[in-house]
């Protein structure tokens, strides 16, 4: 095994996760040390131990139950993967951050994140996979979270299964900051508050979501940034949970549906000039913050309002404040 050159290892595996065993972990099992030090999941360990160089101590292949001594060096290597089922497609990407482990993209409205039935091309995944191939990287597309097709803003994409696992756990723990800007009909009352209302599918129209007592717990915090004669408002939102269409459903629930929302917006009382200015639902994921799983650094990114929402805001300011 030691005969394999470092270049060959880099070709087959991602950069290894490395832990040097300290005195307090002397005599413990490999999996115990990795779970405590790196939060590596049992599922990931089950995958890496199947490959020759996946799990080693001092560059010797071991099982997860092997015991270690102070000073030993544990390496976890994940096989390189790529999304062979996603067609590479050149696309103008707004990449706001990228390193070996993580990518943050500012997604425009009108783009689906991942290929689905009816959307095999033209998705963010198609463009990202093309970008990686152009760079000579073999990476599998792993979005940590998603945005609706007509929502713009920041999306985090993990470049390894470990980073995806770690960021998914941050999402579940509520330590990922996701702030949105929305433009809504009417003005929320009170101006700042929390919508705590369970959400589930509409049984009559399964593609829609509704507030229902039997739904899944859903919490959205909001703050009115600016009111436009109480006819409309700019609102900042923070999600505590991440249900499908959560912001759109919750704002409709409090009588402030999003401008331009074809599914949940007003049917008869929509203002044509506002709808035309937005051209889509007026929702933008403007701030994303998380802890980088490899460096431990807290990072935050901000995406400016896209032109169509700037145009909408100017239109709303025209009615007075």
**Is residue 275 pLDDT above 80, yes or no?**
yes
For residues 153 and 180, is the Cβ–Cβ distance under 8 A? yes
The domain that holds 12 is classified in CATH as: 3.10.290.10
Average pLDDT, the chain: 94
Same domain, 127 and 115: yes
Mean pLDDT of 184-198: 97
Q: How many helices (H) and strands (E) does the chain have?
A: 8, 16
Domain end (from 122, 155, 173): 173
**Is residue 95 pLDDT above 80, yes or no?**
yes
Same domain, 206 and 309: yes
Is 11 part of a structural domain of the chain? yes
Same domain, 190 and 311: yes
Same domain, 311 and 205: yes
Is 299 part of a structural domain of the chain? yes
**125: burial class by Cβ within 10 Å (0-12, 13-18, 19+)?**
buried
Is 82 part of a structural domain of the chain? no
Mean pLDDT of 209-218: 96
Same domain, 72 and 115: no
The band of 321, judged by pLDDT with boundaries at 50, 70 and 90, is very low
**Is residue 1 pLDDT above 50, yes or no?**
no
Same domain, 277 and 213: yes
Same domain, 55 and 100: no
Task: Quick: pLDDT tens for 62-85.
Answer: 999 999 999 999 999 999 998 989
The domain that holds 127 is classified in CATH as: 3.30.2350.10
Instruction: Specify the DSSP element, H or E, that contains 10.
Output: helix 6-12
Catalytic residues, by residue number, are 148
Q: Please provide the DSSP assignment of 205-217 as one string.
A: STTSEEE-TTSB-
Task: Quick: pLDDT tens for 26-70.
Answer: 999 999 999 999 999 999 999 999 998 999 999 999 999 999 999
Cα-based distances in Å from 150 to 57, 69, 163: 48, 54, 27
Cα separation of 239 and 262, whole Å? 22
Same domain, 160 and 183: no
Task: Kindly report whether the peptide bond that precedes residue 83 is cis, defined as omega within 30 degrees of 0.
Answer: no
Mean pLDDT of 202-231: 95
Same domain, 194 and 280: yes
Closest C-alpha to 313, from 188, 222, 255, 226: 226
Is 1 part of a structural domain of the chain? no
Is 90 part of a structural domain of the chain? no
Is 81 part of a structural domain of the chain? no
Cα-based distances in Å from 281 to 61, 101, 152, 157, 225: 53, 32, 9, 23, 18
Same domain, 165 and 261: no
**Is residue 271 pLDDT above 80, yes or no?**
yes
Can you give the residue range of the structural domain that contains 117? 95-173
Domain end (from 143, 173, 203): 173
Task: Quick: pLDDT tens for 243-258.
Answer: 999 999 999 999 999 9
- Domain count along the chain: 3
């Amino acid at each position: 095994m030691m005969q394999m050159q470092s270049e060959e290892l880099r070709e087959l595996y991602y950069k290894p996760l490395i832990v040097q065993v300290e005195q307090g972990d002397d005599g413990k099992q490999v999996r115990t040390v990795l779970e405590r030090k790196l939060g590596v999941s049992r599922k990931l360990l089950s995958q890496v131990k199947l490959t020759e160089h996946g799990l080693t101590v001092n560059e010797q292949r071991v099982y997860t139950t092997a015991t270690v001594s102070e000073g030993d060096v544990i390496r976890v290597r994940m096989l390189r993967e790529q999304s062979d089922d996603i067609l590479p497609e050149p696309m103008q990407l707004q990449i706001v951050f990228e390193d070996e482990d993580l990518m943050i993209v500012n997604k425009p409205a009108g783009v689906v994140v991942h290929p689905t039935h009816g959307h095999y091309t033209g998705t963010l995944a198609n463009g990202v996979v093309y970008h990686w191939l152009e760079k000579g990287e073999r990476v599998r597309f792993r979005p940590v979270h998603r945005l609706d097709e007509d929502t713009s803003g920041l999306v985090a994409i993990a470049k390894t299964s470990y980073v995806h696992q770690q960021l998914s756990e941050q999402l579940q723990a509520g330590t990922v900051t996701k702030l949105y800007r929305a433009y809504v009909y009417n003005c929320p009352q009170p101006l700042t508050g929390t919508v705590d209302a369970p959400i589930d599918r509409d049984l009559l129209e399964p593609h829609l979501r509704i507030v229902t007592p039997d739904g899944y717990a859903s919490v959205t915090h909001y703050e009115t940034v600016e009111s436009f004669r109480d006819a409309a408002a700019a609102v900042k939102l923070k999600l505590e949970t991440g249900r499908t269409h959560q912001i759109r459903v919750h704002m409709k629930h409090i009588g402030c549906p999003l401008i331009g929302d074809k599914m949940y917006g007003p049917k008869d009382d929509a203002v044509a000039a506002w709808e035309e200015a937005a051209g889509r639902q007026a929702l933008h994921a403007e701030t994303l913050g998380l802890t980088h799983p490899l460096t431990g650094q807290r990072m935050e990114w901000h995406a400016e309002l896209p032109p169509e929402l700037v145009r909408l805001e100017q239109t709303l300011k025209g009615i007075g404040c």
